[in-house]
């Protein structure tokens, strides 16, 4: 979150994903990429402000699977938390931090497999119709977030 961002606080960002996107999947929290985004989506789900986003199925589901936790357990931890730090503490107590580096590698390398997969996901991500070169999920999420909220496109998107 930038210093100019007035949503929420550093401890617990505002979770109304009808008004703004979740944090970038690339943002690292507690040693994991995609965790901050998953927390944002889970908080939004809990308060009924998820908008067009979903927690699972998708990359957050892979994060849960590879961490060896369930979405329900994670959701309970987020509901009981007062801050991101509380969620990170719960995660470290319930997962193996030595796996985080490999999980990050796997998450950062995920992408569209082939043209059939692209055709399958196009209805969910219509912004991709104009960007056939986008293959990596982190690039896709950043681009789609900007597209959904009519903001300037991120510089990381090819």
Q: Any idea which residue has 């193996």 for tokens?
A: 96
pLDDT digits (tens, 9 = 90+) for 18-36: 999 999 999 999 999 999 9
pLDDT tens digits along 61-82: 999 999 999 999 999 999 999 9
Which pLDDT score is estimated for 130?
87
Is the model's pLDDT at 151 over the cut of 90? no
Percentage of the residues of the chain whose pLDDT score is greater than 90 = 75
DSSP H or E segment with residue 47:
helix 35-47
Structure tokens at 137: 């999920």
Residue 98 has pLDDT above 90, yes or no: yes
> What's the helix, strand, coil split of the chain in %, to 5?
50, 5, 45
Q: What are the sequence ranges of the domains in the chain?
A: 13-110, 111-151
Q: What is the mean pLDDT of residues 149-158?
A: 61
| Per-residue model confidence (pLDDT) at position 38 | 98
């Amino acid at each position: 979150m930038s210093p100019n961002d007035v949503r929420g606080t550093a401890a617990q960002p505002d979770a109304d994903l009808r008004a703004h996107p979740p944090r970038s999947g690339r943002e690292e929290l507690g040693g994991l990429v995609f965790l901050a985004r998953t927390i944002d989506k889970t908080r939004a789900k809990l308060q009924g402000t998820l908008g067009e986003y979903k927690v699972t199925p998708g990359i957050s589901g892979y994060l849960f699977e590879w961490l060896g936790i369930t979405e329900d357990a994670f959701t309970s931890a987020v509901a009981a938390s007062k801050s991101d730090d509380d969620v990170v503490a719960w995660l470290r107590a319930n997962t193996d931090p030595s796996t985080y580096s490999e999980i990050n590698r796997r998450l950062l390398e995920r992408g569209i497999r082939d043209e059939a997969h692209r055709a399958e996901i196009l209805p969910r991500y219509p912004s991709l119709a104009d960007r056939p070169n986008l293959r990596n999920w982190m690039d896709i999420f950043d681009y789609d977030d900007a597209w959904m909220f009519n903001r300037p496109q991120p510089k990381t998107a090819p």
